[in-house]
Chain A
């Protein structure tokens, strides 16, 4: 487990009064007073905890001060993590000077909890519109809605038409943004400095989802750029607080909808670690999960490759990639019964055993696939036009990776070998051999090469898993047996699964970066607070920096190379 130990902070204890270090089996926490927070974070950053992972708060309405804020940092040299915690009553110092990614995390906290950040340059709402009055993730947010508010239907707003009966949504009690609200939001984000403001999105083929970019253009050069998120915001974190652990599994599908299996895996591994039953999961289940999530990784990267090539005008690669992706979808459908939102894994194993013939099909696929990959590389990798569009565009340095909290292929493209499959191996990743490809220059082209190589490495992992699974007997268990069913109920459907008090930060390597779950449990069948660390969101936060002084044509190149999925950004 890559968590820092208490002895690492002996020096800090002398410097900062009231510094408490708590070492739990699941994570290490440094408690600090609010006024020492910035100093401590600075100190930690100079100690090597350079990569920003996540920041949010947990709401305890009965306590004073009310909010417990946590910062998760990663030490890139010694490869360990630490959680810094502090209590606040609604005001926190901003860490935007230390980590830019913190700026976005703070905006989210401001949006969801109403925390004010002192010294934040542009404290605007992250997901909701500016005129929204409430703070959804606070515990006192009424789930049934505010009775003073009401949700007018579109017909009412546009046509002044009062619908009756079931079509009348009067009782929903939820405010919705009007066009004026959106205009206020837009104005607040970007002050026009150049010639024209181009609304790029929310519905635009180049944004790969419903993201709303504002480009302030000087001719075709982007003078400044901002993003308005939240078009796909569904409040997944709030839902998590009100669903059982097994019920929340299906929401992980819908976050990063292109890599549902990886998200599923990250969630169940987090819960298993919190329960302390990681070792109970049978080997077969571990191998199946690993194999499936690598298939999903190839699937996701294929979609990225296809749309990326499509964005750059290479229309044919799109269909080539989709053809192979279709085969993968069929394989996944044959094994799990679903193509997109899969929910195959369970806390303690997988939902069902592999069907007969599944391994043969996968083996046939992995034998065929490298040839296809070579074909595409012949068309693209050394193509002069491709090189001119990609090389030297959107360069990210190593320091920027830490500063912006980038993970996944984006970080690896800049030469940071940050891969959770190696750092904190879950399931069968510790038992299979694979390499982490890294880039040199950190430009778009390097990220492209890294992703292509990742597909090859995934094939290696799948092959090893298939070899292992073929040797296992069919009767081998695929679901964990509880050692003491009275103490720990571990049913296949997950109903009645009780998690003891505790907290954990556990993450999985998604195709788009680190998907982390911070789970705070006060016991019972529901988590008290779940903070999801979306890889896509932090990867996107460097986008305005990269777009400065570039032309509109590079917007698609850079955006596609960051490969965000809106479902995960907005949650």
Chain B
């Protein structure tokens, strides 16, 4: 009975911490994005609200929340609102299987900093990732607007193509680790003294491509495409409802997929890796906090990389994106899969 109670409390705390971190950071990433974009474009960015615009996300949120709640006259209100839920919930749920650090002990209780260490963690991630397409298709359909419909159909096309690609891309690390549990994949990398990035560079590149495509970041932001489709499927949304979609797509999904990338390819919370020899930890002075800092550092680096691309590149056309997925990315992942299947037993058995 006590064990159950402790487990309940711990789980509750975990949920609160993860939700707080994800949503809080998600909001503040808007500021990061604006600042990064501004400095790429040689301007200061938000400077007025708070020190260097630190309170800007709060001001924006307040503005969005106090706006009039509108919905299209001939749209379907139920589906219109359901789309929001469908967008937010699966994207946030992915964090349930993201391991933030190694196991530690508090008051004699062992705590894994992961909400549920299920043994099919990765499967869950991609199952939830596929749910994103429902949100967008619903949003486009319920808005009763041609622009929204075209935008959502584009996005559906991309997600369908890249779901296949991303699933095959992660096969390599799964074969190397021999498990689907995210926590165990990291453990395996630490045991084998090897980030899977070194053995799976091709899979990593494909994964990053697919991640950009699924989150609708430049160069794959065809479903937004301000110039052609105004803002695509969000065109009929207003206020915070409008704000939620970019928040989910551009920040929460990018964060969750970056975290999964770190888990799969960059050794999770482990410090800098020298293949097969061991790890070097320049942050050793942080003691038990160091793994968490490493994890956050790696995720932030990937996130900044995405931002860098976003504010530099032009965008592809929809047919070019799907062509790349089916004709380039998918064969690459197949080759990678076969190679891994052949090489992995040679190394470890």
Contacts and interface: CB of A to CB of B under 8 A. Distances in A.
A206 interface: yes
A386 B219 CA distance: 10
A198 B151 CA distance: 13
Interface string A123-148: 00000000000000000000000000
Nearest to A318: B41
Interface stretch (B181-189, B221-229, B284-292): B221-229
A551 B314 contact: no
A383 B221 CA distance: 17
A553 interface: yes
B222 A316 contact: no
Interface stretch (B257-265, B271-279, B316-324): B316-324
A40 interface: no
18 contacts: A217-B150, A220-B150, A220-B154, A309-B314, A313-B313, A315-B218, A316-B312, A320-B42, A379-B312, A383-B313, A385-B316, A388-B320, A389-B315, A552-B150, A553-B318, A554-B317, A555-B228, A556-B227
A155 to B, nearest CB: 22
A553 B41 contact: no
Interface string B34-53: 00010011110000000000
B110 to A, nearest CB: 48
A205 interface: yes
B311 A204 contact: no
B67 interface: no
B115 to A, nearest CB: 36
Interface string B210-224: 000000001101100
Residue in B146, B227, B230, B313 with the greatest tally of chain A CB atoms within 10 Å: B227
Residue in A198, A380, A389, A553 with the greatest tally of chain B CB atoms within 10 Å: A553
B42 A319 contact: yes
B316 A311 contact: no
Contacts of B314: 309, 312-314, 380, 383, 385-386, 389
A310 interface: yes
Given A204-B230, A319-B43, A551-B317, 10 more contacts: A196-B146, A310-B226, A313-B219, A315-B311, A316-B40, A316-B312, A320-B41, A389-B316, A551-B319, A553-B222
A323 interface: yes
A206 B228 contact: yes
B315 A556 contact: no
Interface string A311-350: 1111110011001000000000000000000000000000
Interface string A353-394: 000000000000000000000000001100101101100000
Contacts of A319: 41-43
Interface in B220-244: 221-222, 225-230
Nearest to A219: B153
A320 B218 CA distance: 18
Contacts of A220: 150, 153-154, 318
Interface string A185-210: 00000000000101100001110000
B230 A205 contact: yes
A311 B317 contact: no
A383 B37 CA distance: 20
Interface bin, chain A: 20 to 34
B315 A313 contact: yes
Contacts of B218: 313, 315
B57 to A, nearest CB: 20
A487 B221 CA distance: 66
A319 B43 CA distance: 9
A389 B225 CA distance: 14
Interface of B: 37, 40-43, 146-147, 150, 153-154, 218-219, 221-222, 225-230, 311-320
Residue in A323, A385, A556 with the greatest tally of chain B CB atoms within 10 Å: A385
Interface in A513-562: 551-556
Top 5 A-B pairs, shortest CB-CB distance: A313-B315, A311-B227, A314-B314, A312-B314, A319-B41
Nearest to A309: B314
Contacts of A386: 314
A385 B315 contact: yes
A388 B154 CA distance: 18
A314 B228 contact: no
Contact of B313 (A205, A311, A385, A552): A385
Nearest to B311: A316
Contacts of A204: 230
Nearest to A388: B320
B227 A205 contact: yes
B316 A388 contact: yes
Contacts of A388: 316-317, 320
A431 B279 CA distance: 71
Contacts of A553: 222, 225, 228, 317-318
A134 B40 CA distance: 54
A255 B292 CA distance: 61
A313 B311 contact: no
A551 B311 contact: no
B302 to A, nearest CB: 20
Contacts of A385: 219, 313-316
Residue in A311, A315, A383 with the greatest tally of chain B CB atoms within 10 Å: A315
Nearest to B323: A388
B312 A312 contact: no
B42 A323 contact: yes
Residue in A205, A311, A552 with the greatest tally of chain B CB atoms within 10 Å: A552
B266 to A, nearest CB: 26
Residue in A217, A380, A554, A556 with the greatest tally of chain B CB atoms within 10 Å: A556
B13 to A, nearest CB: 41
A190 to B, nearest CB: 15
Contact of A314 (B150, B153, B222, B312): B312
